[in-house]
A and B are shown apart, each in its own frame.
Chain A
Amino acid sequence: MSVNLSLGGPAQASVTEQGERATTGQGQDSGKPATSAAIAIRLTNVKRMFSGARGKFTAIENVSFEARQGEFLTVVGPSGCGKSTLLTLISGLSQPDQGTVEVLGKQVNGIQKDVGFIFQRDALLPWRTALQNVALPLRFRGKSKHEAEELARSWLARVGLKRFEASYPHQLSGGMRKRVSIAATLSYEPRVLLMDEPFSALDVETRTLMENDLLHLWDVNKPTVVFITHDLQEAIGLADRVLVMTASPGRILGDYRVDLMRPRELTELRFDEKFVAIQHSIWEHLRAEVLRAYEQQ
């Protein structure tokens, strides 16, 4: 029973170094140098500020980390710590005020075709059927109508919505709409997949099932995933690595390797001793930050 955790020190410690330390001696990646080719996402000293009604406020500061290709990374932190800001920066929806963001070897300066983004809220077009919603990104990428619809059909079938092709979003449940969003994003096979608390609005049972499904879908093409959540169990269950962020302004507090076997069965995993141990040690670290964030409110 060995729990391979590299506990991050105080926030000032070099996170990248911790990540790499954690990587060495792990599974198939062991011993492989972290060449730039194998790095899918790299953030270096990133700072992002917003100007609001009460003046300027720093969302995230001094954030550096790397994600390797095919890695499933989850980010946890107290609410309002700038987790979502990370994703808008990686996706190119916004630009950092300081530092650099690189995705697939290129500095980000706008939206990239190889990146998929799944939002917390519903983002489907309400005037399009499930099938049309999934086919649209493929049409935008120049596929013919026929080709796009064929592919969309197969993706809807893969997420278990074959019977709902002709349904409009308002006719689907929250979980089904989320699955349509996932199908729409995965259909163009992005190499980087960003997910912003995608399951937080779902009930607990649906959520666990969808996390399981997500892992199966991820396993096919193994995109690099950055998955934001405030749920530590979800974070550990899905991830190869968990990043823990501090309360506002968000910085990276810790970087943990999750050394659990894949494929995982999430419905069972919650009772696994190793899982519980990992959860315990991360929580020890996170607790202080949660309390600090709570006091700030």
Chain B
Amino acid sequence: MPEVVASNAERSRNITVLAWRIGLTVGFLAAWQYMGSKSDFWKLIVSSPQQVILKCFQWVQDPVWWGHVGTTLEEAILGYLLGVVVALVLVAILAPSPWISRFMSPFLAAMNALPKIALAPLFIFWFGTTLQSKVYFVASLISFIVLYGVLTGIRTIDPIMLANTRLHGASKWDLVLHVYIPAIITWLFSSLRLSWAWALLAAVVGEYLGSIKGLGFLIASAEQSLQADIVIAGILVVAIAAVAFDRLLVYVERPMNKWRAF
């Protein structure tokens, strides 16, 4: 039976791919471990997987470290929420009015083109090394990502679909509920996923540049004392937080996407 043959071939291909991935990871870690054990100099600048894992284990048992993680997450989450709310409010203002959208579009394009990470020092000038400065910095960054994502979603709505729904008797509110919102859900989630990674990044960068707690502060002070294991372990923890939240969003979005072809 051809179907079974096909799925067998596919399975063996999948196994090969998996084997290669594991092989590459192990090879990379082994090479890293080898580099780190070559001399004290190398150990200082690249550390080693063993040390990084050890560091992580120490951290997990250390309430002070959890305090740093809590600070970073607080900044990222508050900034994220604020940014999403600001973006959605802007969408609600811009989307229904072609005139305002047209008027605002060059300003939005200019602001979007700014290298926004480089704005971090400004936020620290304005709001000090406080929680606020990080929250506003995170929010300023991701509100643009979400705003652009959702506006693009609205622009891609088929005008025929809108006309048809209006002809079927939909009021303005019906259109929002039955056409606009379902149409932008996918765009909203993809920008939410993208912007969470940016929210963490922005929180860490903000801390790195000026703060007394948080993972960014840990990384910055480890940099001063040449502790590569802490820098790398810190990066690892940020990556884990990014992936965990991303998976959560995928999980939340899935039931809303059941109408799509897979």
> Do the two chains bind?
yes
**Chain A: residues with CB nearer than 8 A to chain B?**
91, 93, 111, 113, 115-117, 119, 121-128, 136-137, 140-141, 168, 170-171, 181, 184-185, 188
Task: Let me know if B178 and A136 touch, CB within 8 A.
Answer: yes
Give the residue name and chain of the B residue nearest to A168 (CB). B259
CB neighbours of B171 from chain A (8 A) = 140
Contact with A along B167-199 (1 / 0, CB 8 A): 111110010001100100000000000000000
Q: Considering the chains assembled together, what is the distance between the CA atoms of A259 and B164 in angstroms?
A: 33
Contact residue among A121, A122, A141, A168 (Cβ-Cβ distance under 8 Å from B169): A141
Please state if A125 and B178 are interface contacts (CB–CB under 8 Å).
yes
Output the residue of B165, B169, B174 with the most chain A CB within 10 A: B169
Instruction: Say what secondary structure dominates the interface of chain B.
Output: helix
Bound complex: CA of A170 vs CA of B259, how far in Å? 8
Interface pairs (12), CB distance under 8 Å: A111-B166, A111-B167, A113-B169, A115-B167, A117-B163, A117-B167, A119-B164, A123-B164, A124-B161, A136-B168, A136-B170, A170-B261
Most buried by A among B160, B167, B174, B179: B167
Please name all residues of chain A whose beta carbon is closer than 8 Å to the beta carbon of B38 when the two chains form the complex.
none
Name the residue on A nearest B261 (C-beta). A170
Q: How far is the CB of B95 from chain A (nearest CB, A)?
A: 19
CA distance A116 to B165 in the complex (A): 11
Contacts of A122 in B (CB 8 A): 160
Using Cβ atoms and an 8 Å threshold, which residues of chain B touch A113? 169
A125 touching B182, Cβ below 8 Å: yes
* Residue B260 interfacial (CB < 8 Å): yes
Q: Are A140 and B170 neighbours in the complex by a CB distance under 8 Å?
A: yes
The contact string, 1 if C-beta is below 8 Å from chain A, for chain B 138-172, is 00000000000000000000101101111111110
Number of interface residues of B (CB under 8 A): 19
CA gap between A137 and B168 in the complex, in Å: 5
Not counting A124-B161, A140-B171, a sample of 12 additional A-B residue pairs whose C-beta atoms are within 8 angstroms of each other reads A111-B166, A111-B167, A113-B169, A119-B163, A121-B158, A123-B161, A125-B161, A126-B260, A136-B170, A140-B170, A141-B169, A168-B259
Are A121 and B160 closer than 8 Å at their CB atoms? Answer: yes
Kindly list chain A residues whose C-beta atoms are within 8 Å of the C-beta of B170: 136, 140
Minimum Cβ distance to chain B for residue A32 (Å): 31
Residues of A within 8 A of B169 (CB): 113, 137, 140-141, 188
A184 and B178 alpha carbons, distance in the complex (Å): 15
What is the CA–CA distance of A53 and B179 in the complex, to the nearest angstrom? 29
CB distance from B172 to the nearest CB of A (A): 12
Known contacts A127-B182, A136-B178, A188-B169; decide if A117 and B259 are in contact (CB<8 Å): no
A123 near B260 with CB under 8 A, answer no
Q: How far is the CB of B128 from chain A (nearest CB, A)?
A: 47
Q: Report chain A residues within 8 Å CB of B261.
A: 170-171
Closest to A169 in B: B259
| Smallest Cβ-Cβ distance to A187: which chain B residue | B168
Nearest CB of chain B from residue A181's CB, rounded to whole Å: 8
Q: Which residue of chain A lies nearest to B167 when distances are taken between CB atoms in the complex? A: A117
- Chain A nearest CB: distance from B183 CB in Å? 8
- Closest residue of chain B to A113 (Cβ to Cβ) is B169
